Chains A and B, each alone.
Chain A
């Protein structure tokens, strides 16, 4: 118990004093997970759109596979990516093992299924008549996908936030692909694992608190965007949707 209290006190000291190591680890965590989320978003929205709008054999099976991959263990993604980019792997020549770039790839692969799947769910939530209307109005396939995606924008934003949440909180990929190299690939989660193992509870708790603060900030930003959008639609005369 004493250890925990001492740890919490030390944690706040580290945070308030803006401990350089803490800042560095936090910055790298954010940079890697934001990059992964951005790349995954760029892939997930068009891909989700294509899967949702196109009719093809095996569509149901594909969606089921995607949904299964929501809960793929991070260490399995870590293993697969490791095998692909390690020196002897097919992409070994890129030299990405134990680099932040490799971690970005790993996290992108990790969160892609959940973002594609939730994008499909979000698009399915848009009234079927909307799509017919757009096609009837002369939209090309991509024009109608863009408009339906816009119609589902808030639900898709939720998918993006969830993807970011999964990326920043995972350990498996960061550990196996990044290698937890101090000053190079050490991020919040791998730090916590390491420092706890070494008995540095204060630093671990501080890192944990930072992780939770990031989560809080993300939620606040999301609420801000949604309420901003609502305010915008209120400015368009007519008030909120009935």
Chain B
């Protein structure tokens, strides 16, 4: 649907995004995730043809987007964008939602029908005569979404659509996004700094850091196989540094951290300096002596509990096994095992759950 090749954008001397290579497939929900200020908004603005890239090219449905302004307008009218800070014009809600259709020269009666349906869709029926500037943040964001959807876009661009919204409004908006994607086959690109939101909505994800698309792929790849430490941290894994690949036989490697050895699946060769990423939910805990490796591809590490942190219905357990590990257990199993600070436990991790990244 959209192909971005070698795109870079400079503002003054500063290159805000660079070397972006990305293909958005028709009908998918693609999440751009990354910390605030990483260049997600710049990328969305380039896709919406609001700005021109300083390098590289973007094609939309096979069309070159670098043409004169009237060609770009024709392409832009096949998309709609919702900005992070919704801007509403100082007029009625109804009028605000009509703009896109008015600009396209649609006839009045038809506009009214469409606007009414769009308002119903976002749950704001009865708001049509309200002055838009008097709405709450969540309501304004929903007006912005209705305004985007009413034009029936092939591609919907959303820039942090739920940042600063309460969980209820967030839920309404997320459901709406999923519904539009499902029912109208609208391609959706959503920029978010919220990993969990990316997980809830997206089919595929791209991680943007410091203006670069550092990793793109399906959710599993990004959550379990982050390509570097920054992404690992961002997706909620604390990488353990200071490892060296001791041996590697057909991708089953042994990584040594001083005296502690961990088996993992990786293509990295012996002698490489590495960090390992282990998702807390992949670590199971047992009382000492209970662990019997079912196969060689399973790690058993003895350690001492250093900290317990309640986490909703779960508890995060930090264990010192010479290397620091974190396990995520349900609160109930934590109580059943009688886990307290200072207690000796054995942590079990499958070799396939250990992700190894090169550490420089």
A236 touches B83 (CB 8 A): no
A147 touches B89 (CB 8 A): yes
A117-133: CB near B (< 8 Å → 1, else 0) gives 00000000001011011
In the complex, A239 Cα to B129 Cα: how many Å?
A: 12
Assuming the contacts A130-B87, A133-B83, asked whether A138 and B77 have C-beta atoms less than 8 A apart, the reply is yes
Please, which residues of chain B bring their CB within 8 A of the CB of A132?
A: 45, 50, 83, 87
Please, which residues of chain B bring their CB within 8 A of the CB of A141?
A: 69
In the complex, A200 Cα to B104 Cα: how many Å?
A: 64
Assuming the contacts A132-B87, A137-B147, asked whether A143 and B130 have C-beta atoms less than 8 A apart, the reply is no
Residue in A133, A136, A139, A143 with the greatest tally of chain B CB atoms within 10 Å: A136
User: Does A199 count as interface, using CB distance less than 8 angstroms?
Assistant: no
Please, which residues of chain A bring their CB within 8 A of the CB of B73?
A: 138, 140
A135 touches B50 (CB 8 A): yes
Please, which residues of chain B bring their CB within 8 A of the CB of A150?
A: 89
Closest CB in chain A relative to B43 CB, distance in Å: 15
User: Does A134 count as interface, using CB distance less than 8 angstroms?
Assistant: yes
In the complex, A241 Cα to B104 Cα: how many Å?
A: 30
Closest CB in chain A relative to B180 CB, distance in Å: 17
Please, which residues of chain A bring their CB within 8 A of the CB of B224?
A: none
User: Does A58 count as interface, using CB distance less than 8 angstroms?
Assistant: no
User: Does B100 count as interface, using CB distance less than 8 angstroms?
Assistant: yes
Please, which residues of chain B bring their CB within 8 A of the CB of A135?
A: 50, 76
Chain A interface residue bracket vs B: 20 to 34
Please, which residues of chain B bring their CB within 8 A of the CB of A236?
A: 91-92, 129-131
In the complex, A188 Cα to B131 Cα: how many Å?
A: 45
B103 touches A238 (CB 8 A): no
B134-147: CB near A (< 8 Å → 1, else 0) gives 11000000001001
Assuming the contacts A147-B99, A237-B129, A241-B133, asked whether A137 and B151 have C-beta atoms less than 8 A apart, the reply is yes
Which one, A139, A233, A241, contacts B99 given CB within 8 A? Answer: A139
B131 touches A238 (CB 8 A): yes
B70-93: CB near A (< 8 Å → 1, else 0) gives 000100110011010101011110
In the complex, A129 Cα to B85 Cα: how many Å?
A: 8
Please, which residues of chain A bring their CB within 8 A of the CB of B134?
A: 238-239, 241-242
User: Does B318 count as interface, using CB distance less than 8 angstroms?
Assistant: no
In the complex, A25 Cα to B257 Cα: how many Å?
A: 99
A151 touches B89 (CB 8 A): yes
A136 touches B50 (CB 8 A): yes
User: What residue of chain B has the Cβ atom nearest to residue A238's Cβ?
Assistant: B134
Please, which residues of chain A bring their CB within 8 A of the CB of B133?
A: 241-242
In the complex, A141 Cα to B130 Cα: how many Å?
A: 28
User: What residue of chain B has the Cβ atom nearest to residue A147's Cβ?
Assistant: B89
User: What residue of chain A has the Cβ atom nearest to residue B95's Cβ?
Assistant: A236
Some 14 contacts from A to B, beta carbons below 8 A apart, are: A129-B85, A137-B80, A137-B100, A139-B99, A140-B103, A141-B69, A147-B99, A150-B89, A151-B89, A233-B131, A236-B131, A237-B130, A241-B134, A242-B133
The 6 A-B pairs of least Cβ separation, nearest first, read: A129-B87, A238-B134, A138-B77, A137-B100, A238-B131, A136-B81
